[in-house]
């Protein structure tokens, strides 16, 4: 197996987390170059790479030079939200695959620039959206493609995670500062990525409109104040709701909430004409599989009662082929999701194929952040999504079959 | 105790259900008159009233005459969605209390007419929204008023109930026909009523804007076709989402879905700065009561994990006073909720006091249907709510203390 030479630009905590998975992948991936503008971060990552018995990489403080390095086939870009799209654009323009981290766009134009750069060389920009490779998300994709939910009608998703301690633990962190100044869905892709895949966005379907609404903002300011930081203003509403309509008539509800105390949830829901999965209910209901009773009310009229099945009871039969193959390994961080995501990226680079999550997915998913900010600012005004595919979404087919294709199973069904 | 003379207009199935509760309330309520334009319905209800050993009521085919009957202090109006507001308006104008059933308005003007009629005589129009008297809904109101959730930020609610069999069992039923022709949140109050009470709508807060979005419509038509009804068009989207913003900055997500197979849910969620209740998770998380752990991730950074407590574990300490008093009785239909609702209505009539749910509540809650239809038709356009209180919402106090006041507990706190 030809080793893929990977460069990493931006050596903060997320680079360390990626390395924790990459060190199990040295058969197929070599970290050939690292780059940061801070010398101490380069030193830290060098140390960790050597501790993991990996070869010493080239070191750069100028990312343009890393991108130009012939030992680099692909670049991972765990840099700040305001810089990774610009860097990715340069990688693509130079014909190098780019793997960017999750997050949202600040403007629609930076996404157009990314799309045009990818189109100019034909290489892919993949978002390393590990939640697309989560066990439940993969199973729902599998079940959706096998038709268990019937025709898809409505989905929900989001990112509900109490990060209010950022306000006092890391007041100068980039993410904290974004929450101070912006107001929109700043972190849409953990929830929306898997749902977009299930709804075939950019492959026969697309996001059409969005309307976003923010609640008042209390959580971060209260956390800051309670920890002696004084009065700090946070613009980000504690809850931001976005409602998206798709070209084929499906609705998506997307939530963002990172400043209030609550158990973690990505609040996923996939609902079709024959049943649904709901993360928070820990349940799946499928007509013909799950229990449905006919009862009679006190006035003698019949009515129907449907009952949830536990999600767990579907794993054996419906785990996605990718998860089945790797589920006992649980390699690296985030329950193995990072490993699966990086493996998919590396294989696409090695074979010079499209990545399972491509530049049109990146553009559509990340545009939600910029559009939701605009819609919130306009009091919930409905806004249109740009069509980053220039109309190609209508005819684009599911991914080509490969070991990592999220959609291969669909192709299997058609054959 | 002076008996309240109650007339019933509209003797369909819901009248029978009300009677099933009223027959346990003969100490305080007498059914003095009944009215329907169909003789066989009058005969059926007469039979049931006599079987319950209640006195024979006056019988009318003309509802104007029932309203004028001096034996009638208050009128229950379980008629069709398109007629109950008109009839209620006449009751109010004649100085008789009106108890209307749940549902939504077709126009904003019919609600203004209702409000002006109530204001002209000072009697109340109560919606018999039994879910306001549900155990969990009452407990959440109690917990909210005691401050357990902190400052309220976001609420969710809805009506998710598979009624697709209407399409073939009762194709000519009024509700079925509304779903054929309309597209909006046709049944908002089971979910929204309790949430409106918790958020103090019309008493220091109000609904400000709404944006509604409908998914495609498949469920009803498929059910009709599968049962030999041929191709019948239903306009109502399988899922209708409405996002409401309140004057004090809270957001509300409201769902309507009655045509897809799924377990029943009113999907209630009440979230504040200190915790939340989520119906579908069957959980409550309250800071300082529920479990919160500090953990360390693989990069050495601390993070916080919050865990749900079961809803059941809060009943003993936080059941609402009304529920505590009646919980062992479970009288009548819908787990006792109808009994509690009718008792509250009857006491207000007897004491000539405002009802706990009043004409401003009715107008605000029911306006959601008309506004959501308009917003859906405009592709999700944000629309303003009328202020049916003409500005009185700012200064209106919580209800006066009484045995049935939903909000009495709040007054207790302030004293």
- Residue B263 is nearest to which of A169, A245, A308, comparing CB atoms? A308
Contacts of B260 in chain A (CB under 8 A): 153, 271-273, 276
Q: Which range marks the domain in which residue A59 is found?
A: 4-130
pLDDT of residue A328: 75
Q: Quick one: average pLDDT of B302-312?
A: 95
Cβ–Cβ under 8 Å, residues A128 and A100:
yes
Retrieve residue B332's tokens: 């009548």
Residue B352 lies in a domain: no
- Which of A281, A282, A307 would best serve as a mutation to test chain B binding (most B beta carbons within 10 A)? A281
| Interface subset of B 269-328, CB within 8 angstroms of A | 271-276, 278, 280-281, 283, 285, 287, 292, 298-299, 301-302, 304-308
Cβ–Cβ under 8 Å, residues B229 and B393:
no
Q: Do residue B249 and residue A216 have CB atoms under 8 angstroms apart? A: yes
pLDDT of residue B411: 44
**C-alpha torsion sign, points B80, B85, B86, B89:** positive
Residue A289 lies in a domain: yes
Residue B280 lies in a domain: yes
- pLDDT for A262-317, tens place per residue? 999 999 999 999 999 999 999 999 999 999 999 998 778 888 999 999 999 999 99
Looking at the structure, tell me whether residues B77 and B176 fall in a common domain.
Answer: no
Above 70 in pLDDT, residue A412? no
Residue A326 lies in a domain: no
Q: Do residue A218 and residue B285 have CB atoms under 8 angstroms apart? A: no
Nearest residue to B251 (alpha-carbon basis) of B194, B189, B195: B195
Per-residue pLDDT band for B409 (boundaries 50, 70, 90) equals low
Query: For A254-282, b where at least 16 C-beta lie within 10 A, e where not — what string?
Result: bbbbbbbbbbebbbbbbbbbbbbbbbbbb
- Which of B156, B166, B215, B330 would best serve as a mutation to test chain A binding (most A beta carbons within 10 A)? B215
Q: Are strands A29-35 and A4-9 parallel, antiparallel or unpaired?
A: parallel
- pLDDT for B20-33, tens place per residue? 999 999 999 999 99
d(CA A11, CA A34): 8
pLDDT of residue A408: 59
- Percent of chain A, pLDDT > 90? 88
Per-residue pLDDT band for B138 (boundaries 50, 70, 90) equals very high
- pLDDT for A368-392, tens place per residue? 999 999 999 999 999 999 999 999 9
Contacts of B158 in chain A (CB under 8 A): none
DSSP state of A3: P
Nearest residue to A368 (alpha-carbon basis) of A248, A191, A239, A235: A191
Q: Cα distance from B274 to chain A (closest Cα, Å)?
A: 6
Looking at the structure, tell me whether residues B116 and B229 fall in a common domain.
Answer: no
Contacts of B275 in chain A (CB under 8 A): 261-262
Q: Cα distance from A218 to chain B (closest Cα, Å)?
A: 7
Looking at the structure, tell me whether residues B51 and B137 fall in a common domain.
Answer: no
Looking at the structure, tell me whether residues B115 and B185 fall in a common domain.
Answer: no
d(CA B192, CA B137): 11
Cβ–Cβ under 8 Å, residues B124 and B91:
no
Cβ–Cβ under 8 Å, residues A98 and A73:
no
Kindly report the CATH number assigned to the domain that includes residue A297: 3.30.360.10
Q: Cα distance from B312 to chain A (closest Cα, Å)?
A: 16
* Mean pLDDT computed over every residue of chain B: 94
| Interface subset of A 193-232, CB within 8 angstroms of B | 209, 211, 213-216, 218-219, 222
Above 80 in pLDDT, residue B407? no
Retrieve residue A49's tokens: 């790479």
Nearest residue to A232 (alpha-carbon basis) of A250, A220, A247, A240: A220
Looking at the structure, tell me whether residues B191 and B288 fall in a common domain.
Answer: yes
Q: Cα distance from B271 to chain A (closest Cα, Å)?
A: 9
Looking at the structure, tell me whether residues B174 and B296 fall in a common domain.
Answer: yes
Nearest CA in chain B to A252: B215
Kindly report the CATH number assigned to the domain that includes residue B101: 3.40.50.720
Looking at the structure, tell me whether residues B103 and B141 fall in a common domain.
Answer: no
- Residue A17 is nearest to which of B283, B298, B306, comparing CB atoms? B298
Q: Do residue B287 and residue A162 have CB atoms under 8 angstroms apart? A: no
Q: Are strands B251-257 and A251-257 parallel, antiparallel or unpaired?
A: unpaired
pLDDT of residue A401: 72
- Boundary-marking domain end, from A84, A105, A130: A130
pLDDT of residue A415: 33
d(CA A402, CA B4): 75
**In degrees rounded to 5, what are phi and psi of residue A396?**
-65, 130
Q: Cα distance from A107 to chain B (closest Cα, Å)?
A: 23
Q: Which residues contact B317 (CB under 8 A, 6 or more apart)?
A: none
- Residue B280 is nearest to which of A222, A278, A380, comparing CB atoms? A278
Q: Which residues contact B262 (CB under 8 A, 6 or more apart)?
A: A271, A275, A276, A285, A306, B160, B162
Q: What share of chain B is helix, strand, coil (3-state, %, to 5)?
A: 40, 20, 40
pLDDT of residue B272: 98
Looking at the structure, tell me whether residues B75 and B52 fall in a common domain.
Answer: yes
- pLDDT for A177-192, tens place per residue? 999 999 999 999 999 9
Rg (CA), chain A: 22
Nearest CA in chain A to B272: A260
Nearest CA in chain B to A16: B299
Retrieve residue B322's tokens: 């009304």
Q: Are strands A383-384 and A309-310 parallel, antiparallel or unpaired?
A: unpaired
Cβ–Cβ under 8 Å, residues B204 and B343:
no
Give the C-alpha distances (Å, rounded to integers) separating B124 from A270, A275, B88, B121: 43, 43, 10, 9
Q: Cα distance from A413 to chain B (closest Cα, Å)?
A: 24
Instruction: Give, in degrees to the nearest 5, the angle at Cα A83 between A82 and A85.
Output: 100
Nearest CA in chain A to B243: A213
- pLDDT for A68-101, tens place per residue? 999 999 999 999 999 999 999 999 999 999 999 9
Tell me how many domains chain B contains.
Answer: 2
Strand partners, A152: A272
pLDDT of residue A84: 97
Q: Which helix (H) or strand (E) holds A165?
A: none
Per-residue pLDDT band for A409 (boundaries 50, 70, 90) equals low
Contacts of B334 in chain A (CB under 8 A): none
Retrieve residue B103's tokens: 């549902």
Q: Do residue B278 and residue A281 have CB atoms under 8 angstroms apart? A: no
Q: Cα distance from A261 to chain B (closest Cα, Å)?
A: 6
Q: Cα distance from A290 to chain B (closest Cα, Å)?
A: 10
- Boundary-marking domain end, from A130, A161, A196: A130
Q: Do residue B379 and residue A380 have CB atoms under 8 angstroms apart? A: no
pLDDT of residue B408: 59
Instruction: Give, in degrees to the nearest 5, the angle at Cα B371 between B120 and B63.
Output: 45
Residue A380 region, left (φ>0) first, then alpha (ψ -120 to 50), else beta?
A: left
Retrieve residue B240's tokens: 């209708």
- Burial classification of residue B215, based on how many CB atoms lie within 10 Å of its CB (0-12 exposed, 13-18 middle, 19 or more buried): buried
- Would you give the end-to-end CA distance of chain A in angstroms? 29
Retrieve residue B225's tokens: 């076709």
Contacts of B283 in chain A (CB under 8 A): 263
| Interface subset of B 92-131, CB within 8 angstroms of A | none
Q: Do residue B280 and residue A275 have CB atoms under 8 angstroms apart? A: no
Question: Does B44 contact A at CB distance below 8 Å?
Answer: no
Q: Do residue B213 and residue A245 have CB atoms under 8 angstroms apart? A: yes
Give the side-chain half-sphere CA count within 13 A for A219: 30
Q: Which residues contact B92 (CB under 8 A, 6 or more apart)?
A: B98, B114, B117, B118, B120, B121, B123, B125, B359
Q: Cα distance from A1 to chain B (closest Cα, Å)?
A: 30
- pLDDT for A324-355, tens place per residue? 888 777 777 777 889 999 999 999 999 999 99
Q: Which residues contact B183 (CB under 8 A, 6 or more apart)?
A: B214, B217, B235, B236, B237, B240, B373, B376, B377
ipTM summary value:
0.95
Nearest residue to B15 (alpha-carbon basis) of B39, B41, B50: B41
- Residue B215 is nearest to which of A251, A304, A333, comparing CB atoms? A251
| Interface subset of A 367-406, CB within 8 angstroms of B | 379-382
Q: Quick one: average pLDDT of B310-328?
A: 91
* Mean pLDDT computed over every residue of chain A: 94
Cβ–Cβ under 8 Å, residues A373 and A210:
no
Residue A339 lies in a domain: no
Per-residue pLDDT band for B358 (boundaries 50, 70, 90) equals very high
d(CA B168, CA B152): 43
- Which of B167, B238, B247 would best serve as a mutation to test chain A binding (most A beta carbons within 10 A)? B238
- Boundary-marking domain end, from A130, A156, A172: A130
Q: Do residue B306 and residue A260 have CB atoms under 8 angstroms apart? A: no
Nearest CA in chain A to B300: A13
Looking at the structure, tell me whether residues B91 and B144 fall in a common domain.
Answer: no
Looking at the structure, tell me whether residues A43 and A56 fall in a common domain.
Answer: yes
d(CA A316, CA A365): 31
Give the count of beta carbons closer than 10 Å to the beta carbon of residue A9: 27
Quickly list DSSP for B277-314. EETTTTEEEETTTS-EEEEE-TTS-EEEEE-PEEGGGG
Above 50 in pLDDT, residue A136? yes
Retrieve residue A226's tokens: 């309670």
Nearest residue to A262 (alpha-carbon basis) of B298, B271, B319: B271
pLDDT of residue B414: 40
**C-alpha torsion sign, points A270, A272, A278, A283:** negative
- Which of A176, A212, A216 would best serve as a mutation to test chain B binding (most B beta carbons within 10 A)? A216
Query: For B272-283, b where at least 16 C-beta lie within 10 A, e where not — what string?
Result: bbbbbbbbbbbb
Sole residue written with tokens 């890391």: A170
Looking at the structure, tell me whether residues B151 and B225 fall in a common domain.
Answer: yes
- Residue A307 is nearest to which of B165, B263, B381, comparing CB atoms? B263
Q: Are strands A283-286 and A309-310 parallel, antiparallel or unpaired?
A: antiparallel
d(CA A255, CA A35): 35
Question: Does B168 contact A at CB distance below 8 Å?
Answer: no
Give the count of beta carbons closer than 10 Å to the beta carbon of residue A50: 12
Query: For A356-393, b where at least 16 C-beta lie within 10 A, e where not — what string?
Result: bbbbbbbbbbbbbbbbbbebbeebbbbbebbbbbeeeb
Which region among A387-396, B142-151, B324-333 has the lowest average model confidence (pLDDT)? B324-333
Sole residue written with tokens 């549900």: B134
- Burial classification of residue B148, based on how many CB atoms lie within 10 Å of its CB (0-12 exposed, 13-18 middle, 19 or more buried): buried
- pLDDT for A41-63, tens place per residue? 999 999 999 999 999 999 999 99
- Which of B11, B21, B45, B280 would best serve as a mutation to test chain A binding (most A beta carbons within 10 A)? B280
Which region among A401-405, B44-48, B119-123, B134-138 has the lowest average model confidence (pLDDT)? A401-405
Nearest CA in chain B to A260: B273
Looking at the structure, tell me whether residues A67 and A169 fall in a common domain.
Answer: no
Question: Does B251 contact A at CB distance below 8 Å?
Answer: yes
pLDDT of residue B413: 42
Residue A350 lies in a domain: no
Give the C-alpha distances (Å, rounded to integers) separating B166 from B83, B212, B223: 21, 24, 9
pLDDT of residue A414: 40
- pLDDT for B149-194, tens place per residue? 999 999 999 999 999 999 999 999 999 999 999 999 999 999 999 9
Q: Do residue A380 and residue B245 have CB atoms under 8 angstroms apart? A: yes
Q: Quick one: average pLDDT of A221-236?
A: 98
């Amino acid at each position: 197996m030809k080793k893929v030479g990977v460069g990493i630009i931006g050596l903060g905590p997320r680079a360390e987390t990626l390395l924790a998975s990459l060190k199990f992948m040295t058969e197929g991936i070599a970290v050939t170059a690292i780059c940061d503008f801070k010398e101490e971060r380069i030193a830290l990552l060098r140390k960790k790479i050597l501790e993991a018995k990996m070869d010493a990489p080239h070191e750069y403080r100028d990312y343009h030079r890393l991108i130009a390095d012939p030992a680099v086939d692909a670049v991972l870009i765990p840099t700040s939200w305001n810089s990774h799209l610009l860097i990715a654009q340069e990688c693509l323009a130079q014909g190098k695959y780019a793997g960017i981290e999750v997050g949202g766009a600040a403007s629609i134009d930076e996404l157009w620039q990314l799309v045009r750069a990818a189109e100019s060389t034909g290489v892919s920009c993949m978002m390393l959206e590990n939640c697309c490779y989560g066990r439940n998300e993969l199973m729902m994709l599998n079940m959706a493609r096998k038709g268990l939910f019937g025709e898809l009608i409505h989905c929900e998703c989001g990112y509900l995670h109490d990060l209010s301690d950022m306000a006092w633990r890391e007041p100068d962190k980039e993410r904290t500062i974004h929450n101070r100044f912006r107001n929109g869905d700043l972190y849409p892709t953990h929830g929306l990525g898997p749902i977009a895949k299930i709804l075939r966005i950019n492959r026969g379907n697309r996001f059409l409109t969005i309307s976003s609404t923010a609640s008042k903002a209390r959580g971060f300011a209260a956390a800051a104040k309670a920890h002696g930081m004084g009065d700090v203003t946070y613009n980000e509403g504690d809850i931001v709701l976005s409602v998206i309509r798709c070209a084929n008539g499906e609705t998506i509800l997307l939530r963002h909430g990172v400043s209030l105390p609550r158990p973690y949830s990505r609040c996923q829901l996939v609902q079709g004409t024959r049943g649904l999965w709901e993360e928070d209910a820990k349940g799946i209901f499928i007509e013909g599989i799950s229990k449905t009773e006919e009862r009679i009310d006190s006035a003698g009229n019949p009515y129907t009662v449907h009952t949830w099945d536990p999600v767990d009871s579907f794993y054996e039969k419906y785990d996605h082929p990718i998860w089945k193959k790797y589920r006992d390994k649980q390699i690296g961080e985030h329950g193995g999701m990072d490993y699966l995501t990086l493996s998919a990226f590396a294989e696409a680079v090695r074979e010079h194929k499209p990545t399972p999550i491509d530049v049109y997915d990146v553009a559509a998913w990340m545009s939600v952040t910029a559009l939701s900010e605009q819609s919130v600012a306009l009091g919930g005004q409905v806004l249109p999504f740009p069509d980053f595919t220039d109309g190609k979404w209508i005819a684009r087919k599911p991914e080509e079959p490969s070991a990592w294709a999220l959609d291969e199973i669909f192709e299997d069904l058609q054959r």
